[in-house]
Amino acid sequence: MKDLNKLTITEARELLDKKEISALDLTKACLKQIEKFNPELNACLAISSDLALKQAKEADKRIAKGESTKLLGIPYLAKDNLLTKGVKTTAASKVLEDYIAPYNATAISKLEKQGAILLGKTNLDEFAHGASTENSAYGVVKNPWDTERVPGGSSGGSAVAVAADMCIFALGSDTGGSVRQPASFCNVVGLKPSYGRVSRYGLMSMTSSTDVIGPITKNVEDSAIVLSVISGNDKKDSSTSEKEVANYLKNINKPLKGKKIAWVKEYFPKTLSKEAKESILLAKERLESLGAEMVEISLPATEYAISVYYIITPAELSSNLARFDGVRFGFNYKEAKNIKQYYLESRGRSFGPEAKRRIMLGTYVLSSGYYDDYYVRAQKFRTMISREFEDAFKKVDAILAPTAPSPAFKIGEKTSPLDMYLEDQFLSAPSLAGIPSISIPSKFVSNLPFGVQLMSARFEEEKLLNISNILFDNLSKENKKLNLST
C-alpha cells in the first residue's frame, strides 16, 4: 500500500486494527517523507528515528494482542517547545542548543501512554515569538504550497509537517494564534482549546495566562480525537480545569439546523484583504446552506485586543525568560570578567532579535513608572473582551471570523515588527478570553490556501468541533490536496 503517510488518524486506525498495515510500516513511511522533504522545508529540528521505530514495534505487539486505543501506532511530531524525555528540546533558540529534557510534558506522556509514536520535534519561532517561523535560530521554515513564502507561526514547523504528510498529526502551542494562523497558511486544521482544557506542564512558558497546547491535523475529526486524549485535569498544572472532558466525537456529525452563528462587524476592517473577504463570505454562504442562522453582532472591545495582547504577552514572557541567564539554564559566557558582563554576554549572544525586543518591551511595561498605565489598564480591557464574548455566547452558538488578514506572505517581506504583530489581529481576542477557537481551510485565492476561524464559549469544544466539522466537510469537496511530487 502506497502513501501511508497521507492517511488520517481515522483511516490509519481502521487499517491498523484490521492488521492490513503495521505501525512500523506507517512510521517508516513518515520517516521517509521527512528524509525526502525536510532538507528543503526545514520543518523538523530533531528526528528521533530510533525511538520512533522502537515505539512502532511496541505498538505492533500491543495491536497483535488485540489492544486498540485511539492513537495506538499513530506517528506524530511535536513542537520543539514541548519537553520530550531523552530528545533534544531547543525552543528553536541558541540558549538551549544542547538541552535534553529530563521528563515529558503531560501532553506527551498521555500520547505515549496511548501508544502514539514520536517521530521528532518541529521548528518554530524562537521561544514561540513570531507569526512566520522566520525567527528560528535554526533557519526559516518554508511553506510547502510555495517555498518562497512563510508557513505562519509560531507553530510553522508543525503545520508544514502535517501539510506535507511528514506525520499523521502534530502538536503545536497557541498563545495568540500560533496554531491557527499557520494552519490557515498551510491548508490544515489548527485547534486552540479552551485555556485550562489541556495541561501546560512541560510546555516552555511564553505567556502563562494564554499558552495552550493544541493539535494540527488533516481534518476536524482528527483534531477531536487528539484533543480527547490530551485534555483533562492535571495536578501538575493548577490552571487546568476539573470540568469533565466531553466525548468530542459523539455529536461531531450533528446537522447544523437551528445553530446560530455570529457575524462580527468589527472583524471586517477596511484593511482586510480581498482574499480574506472571499474566504469568509464563502464560509458564511456554506453555513447558511447547511441550515445555520447567521446573526450580525458587535464586539467593540475587539478593537483593543491586539494592543492588550502586546502589552500582556511581553510582560509575562520577559518574566518567564529571566530564568535563561546562563546560571540555571542556557548558554553561559565563560570569558566574562565580572557578573554584569556574564549576564549581558550570556543573554545577548544567545537570544535572537525578536526575543530581545519582547523582553525589553515587557520589562518596560512592568517597570514602576509604567505598570499602572500599561499592564494594569491592559488587564482591565482584557476583562472587557472576555465579558463581551460571554454575553455573545448567550445568544449564539459560535462566532465566524477570518483567521488571518491576508494569505501567506513572502519570506523576508515583512520587516516591521508592527506588521508582524498585526498578523494576530483576529486571533488574540479568543486567546485573551481563554475560549476555544479553530481554523479550517476555506478556499484557495491566487493559488494560496486560506482559512476561516470559528470560536465558541469556554469549554464548549464539543459544539465547536461539530460546527467546524460539518463546514469542513462541505468546503473540502472543493479544496486542493498538496502533491509534493509535482
Which residues are tagged catalytic? 79, 154, 178
d(CA 374, CA 365) in angstroms, rounded, equals: 6
Instruction: State phi, psi for 82 to the nearest 5 degrees.
Output: -100, 125
Residue 163, CA distances (Å) to 1, 5, 320, 470 in order: 20, 11, 32, 21
What is the residue type of 240?
T
- According to DSSP, the residues that pair with 444 across neighbouring strands are 449
- According to DSSP, the residues that pair with 117 across neighbouring strands are 75
- According to DSSP, the residues that pair with 170 across neighbouring strands are 77, 216
β-sheet with 398-402: strand ranges across:
44-47, 117-122, 75-79, 169-174, 212-217, 189-192, 437-445, 448-455, 398-402, 260-264, 293-297
Cell of 158: 508543525
d(CA 86, CA 104) in angstroms, rounded, equals: 9
Question: Which residues, 6+ apart, have CB-to-CB distance to 356 below 8 Å?
Answer: 348
C-alpha 323: how far from chain center: 24
Instruction: State phi, psi for 17 to the nearest 5 degrees.
Output: -70, -30
Dihedral Cα 188, 193, 197, 203, nearest 10 deg: 60
Residues 439/189, Cβ–Cβ less than 8 Å: yes
* Selection from 254, 242, 248, 262 nearest residue 394 by Cα: 262
